[in-house]
Chains A and B, each alone.
Chain A
Amino acid sequence: MTEVTIIGGGVAGMCVARVLSDRGASVRVIERGAGVGAHMCSWWAGGMLAPYCEGESAEEPVVRLGQEAAGWWDAATGAVTREGSLVISAARDQSDLKRFARRTNNFTDVSGKEIDALEPDLGGRFSKGLFFKDEAHLAPRTALAALREGLCADGVSFEQREADPKTEAAKGLTVDCRGFAAHDALKDLRGVKGEMLVLRCPDVTLTRPIRLLHPRIPLYVVPRGDGVFMLGATMIESSGSAFVTARSLLELLSAAYALNPAFGEAEVLEIGVDSRPAFPDNLPRIRRDGNLIRANGLFRHGFLLAPAVARMVGELIFDGTEPEVMDAVAA
């Protein structure tokens, strides 16, 4: 039986564990923190499975590979909501909506009336939008917990300790899925800071993720159910992940207020910040050096691309297929 050690228990590590376990490997995951929690970058994710929307700024592989995500997460966790996503802008920012439409596909134009039918609580404030009906979303923390539970049930073991990938690789096949923590070994990996908020606002009901386009402050709101919403997320070229700035808070909250003034009465449950691991082209990479495989650079597409990257790690190990995101640079 193939034995594999995975370092990192976040969204990348656990997706790789799921795929390798399904393909018959005996898998051990070594993680820095205890279980699913705030130490993971993926804990703070939006959980949008929106490959078509991401095409606005991401390159082609993100759109294509991201289409695997909704089905994968549904099978692995059952935590997926398939209600599409809605993109809108204020009347004065219609040019941003036009640009978004030019740069994406697989949507339908929706009128103000249709927006109101989809999301009654956006009530008459938006006259044009784009509806991506094939997109989905999930609650990241629920999904991560369900994924972990499934892995434990299938005999995957979890150990909490620091581990050095090279030391582990000397003992056997090892996959490094540490995210930004692998910065010490992957010199071209950088951190892109993201800040988010969790609000409780029982006065607002939304069914699907909403993206509010704005030339300065783009915002997305993802409904978590029970009147809870995740607001995100800034993109700042910085690996400093300790604090959210007052300006980011102001911007996110004022954008939410523009979406629906009822958000002004919301309770702020959480303020989160972390560093997304990214390579210079913001695309994921798999690198291999003998027994050591590194999968990293999921950027803002952790839940969206981890299933495809995990599949490719599986194909590399079991079929010897070179992944399309394989990098010539040695691990």
Chain B
Amino acid sequence: MRSFYGVDLPNGFMLGTAQYPSPAILADAFKRSGAGVATVSLRRESGQDRAGQDFWAMIRDLGVQVLPNTAGCHTVKEAVTTAHMAREVFGTKWIKLEVIGEEDTLQPDVFGLVEAARVLSEDGFQVFPYTTEDLVVADKLLHAGCEVLMPWGAPIGSGLGLNNLFGLRAMRAHFPNVPLVIDAGLGLPSQAAQAMELGFDAVLLNTAVAKAGDPAAMAEAFATAIRAGQLAYDADPMEPRDMAAPSTPVIGKAFLE
């Protein structure tokens, strides 16, 4: 397992904390997921008076690494301000950086993202940028100080899975030593397994678990799939081929009919 800014995680599962039917169900989902990282949005629960503290205390009580995010930020300034608040509230340098550029697809504004990543990295933050699979942007993010990249699988909350397999494979191949996390767009455990089979180091998801009929069971399903995908990747899978290759030799087999 690769480390993220020097932190070794128990597995490749990062789970979001929004949209659960209740905090009790959220806690159950985390227990059954075994996820080592909880992402938490600071924008909505905040306010001048830090009035979200009951909820934040509950997140801290999950006993996992907290990855605050800047969800819903549309400008560099908003994202930087939110990151500072997150550092203060959770006492962590980690920040999942989202700078949203398009309202309908919620796709990242990659220009603002690179700029905000540079500002925050220079300020000592350890940035997890939510980006696309664009290799040029990825390279600029690394130059801006990021040591982890988080490309999308599909638009946030869409549940469409890995939309651009070619792009994601290319990303893995181009940055063999950078921890890569599939962030957003996963709907089913099989899609998470596929991400891990491609050699990604982790997946980050929220809606697929929180909006399932039984979030805790779905959390376990994802955990199992992520482990399967990870094992498969480590086990060095066979190469696909166009021609059939029988697993049992047929030459010399007796003809019975």
Q: Which residues of A contact B (CB under 8 A)?
A: 57-59, 99, 102-103, 190-191, 193, 215-216, 236-242, 278, 280-283
Closest beta carbon of chain A to B63's beta carbon, Å: 16
Which chain B positions have C-beta within 8 A of A190? 23, 54-55, 58
A237 with B55, Cβ < 8 A, contacts A280-B23, A281-B22, A282-B24 known:
yes
Contact of B52 among A59, A237, A242 (CB under 8 A): A237
A102 with B157, Cβ < 8 A, contacts A237-B55, A240-B47, A282-B21 known:
no
Report how far A237 CA is from B44 CA in the complex, Å: 8
When the two chains form their complex, are residues A59 and B21 in contact, meaning their CB atoms are under 8 A apart? Answer: yes
Which chain A positions have C-beta within 8 A of B46? 238
Closest beta carbon of chain B to A305's beta carbon, Å: 14
Report how far A280 CA is from B26 CA in the complex, Å: 9
Nearest residue in A to B21 (C-beta to C-beta)? A57
When the two chains form their complex, are residues A280 and B51 in contact, meaning their CB atoms are under 8 A apart? Answer: no
A102 with B213, Cβ < 8 A, contacts A238-B52, A239-B51, A281-B24 known:
yes
Report how far A216 CA is from B155 CA in the complex, Å: 13
Question: Is B228 interfacial (CB 8 A cutoff)?
Answer: no
Report how far A240 CA is from B22 CA in the complex, Å: 19
Which chain B positions have C-beta within 8 A of A193? 51
Which chain B positions have C-beta within 8 A of A241? 51
Which chain B positions have C-beta within 8 A of A280? 22-24, 27, 58
Report how far A314 CA is from B45 CA in the complex, Å: 37
Report how far A241 CA is from B52 CA in the complex, Å: 11
Question: Is B227 interfacial (CB 8 A cutoff)?
Answer: no
When the two chains form their complex, are residues A236 and B45 in contact, meaning their CB atoms are under 8 A apart? Answer: yes
Which chain A positions have C-beta within 8 A of B21? 57-59, 282
When the two chains form their complex, are residues A238 and B45 in contact, meaning their CB atoms are under 8 A apart? Answer: yes
Closest beta carbon of chain B to A39's beta carbon, Å: 18
Which chain A positions have C-beta within 8 A of B52? 237-240
When the two chains form their complex, are residues A191 and B54 in contact, meaning their CB atoms are under 8 A apart? Answer: yes
A239 with B22, Cβ < 8 A, contacts A103-B213, A280-B27 known:
no
Within 8 A of A (CB), among B51-71: 51-52, 54-55, 58
Report how far A283 CA is from B21 CA in the complex, Å: 11
Nearest residue in B to A234 (C-beta to C-beta)? B44
Report how far A86 CA is from B58 CA in the complex, Å: 35
Which chain B positions have C-beta within 8 A of A237? 44-45, 52, 54-55
Contact of A238 among B24, B51, B58, B211 (CB under 8 A): B51
Which chain A positions have C-beta within 8 A of B48? 240
0 or 1 for each of B156-185: is its CB under 8 Å from A? (1 = yes): 010000000000000000000000000000
Q: Which residues of B contact A (CB under 8 A)?
A: 21-25, 27, 44-49, 51-52, 54-55, 58, 157, 211, 213
When the two chains form their complex, are residues B22 and A282 in contact, meaning their CB atoms are under 8 A apart? Answer: yes
List the 7 shortest-distance A-B pairs measured between CB atoms, nearest first. Answer: A240-B51, A281-B24, A190-B54, A237-B55, A282-B22, A240-B47, A280-B24
Contact of A239 among B27, B54, B211 (CB under 8 A): B54
Specify which of B27, B52, B157 lies most central, judged by the most chain A CB atoms within 10 Å of its CB. B52
Contact of A99 among B47, B58, B211 (CB under 8 A): B211
Closest beta carbon of chain B to A301's beta carbon, Å: 12
Which chain B positions have C-beta within 8 A of A240? 47-49, 51-52
Report how far A238 CA is from B48 CA in the complex, Å: 11
Report how far A245 CA is from B98 CA in the complex, Å: 21
| Given A240-B48, A281-B22, A282-B21, 7 more pairs with CB closer than 8 A | A237-B54, A238-B47, A238-B55, A240-B47, A240-B52, A242-B49, A282-B22
Closest beta carbon of chain A to B135's beta carbon, Å: 30
Report how far A236 CA is from B54 CA in the complex, Å: 12
Report how far A155 CA is from B40 CA in the complex, Å: 51
Nearest residue in A to B106 (C-beta to C-beta)? A216
Specify which of A103, A242, A281 lies most central, judged by the most chain B CB atoms within 10 Å of its CB. A281
Which chain A positions have C-beta within 8 A of B25? 281
Report how far A237 CA is from B57 CA in the complex, Å: 12
Closest beta carbon of chain A to B165's beta carbon, Å: 23
Nearest residue in B to A248 (C-beta to C-beta)? B44
Closest beta carbon of chain B to A181's beta carbon, Å: 14
Which chain A positions have C-beta within 8 A of B55? 190, 237-238
Report how far A135 CA is from B247 CA in the complex, Å: 62
Which chain A positions have C-beta within 8 A of B49? 240, 242
Report how far A242 CA is from B51 CA in the complex, Å: 10
A236 with B44, Cβ < 8 A, contacts A190-B54, A190-B55, A280-B27 known:
yes
Closest beta carbon of chain A to B16's beta carbon, Å: 13
Closest beta carbon of chain A to B59's beta carbon, Å: 10
Q: What would 18 A/B residue contacts be, using CB atoms closer than 8 Å?
A: A59-B21, A99-B211, A102-B213, A190-B54, A193-B51, A216-B157, A237-B45, A237-B54, A238-B44, A238-B45, A238-B47, A238-B55, A239-B51, A240-B51, A241-B51, A278-B22, A280-B23, A280-B58
Which chain A positions have C-beta within 8 A of B47? 238, 240
Specify which of A58, A99, A237, A280 lies most central, judged by the most chain B CB atoms within 10 Å of its CB. A237
Report how far A57 CA is from B157 CA in the complex, Å: 17
Report how far A241 CA is from B44 CA in the complex, Å: 13
Nearest residue in B to A282 (C-beta to C-beta)? B22
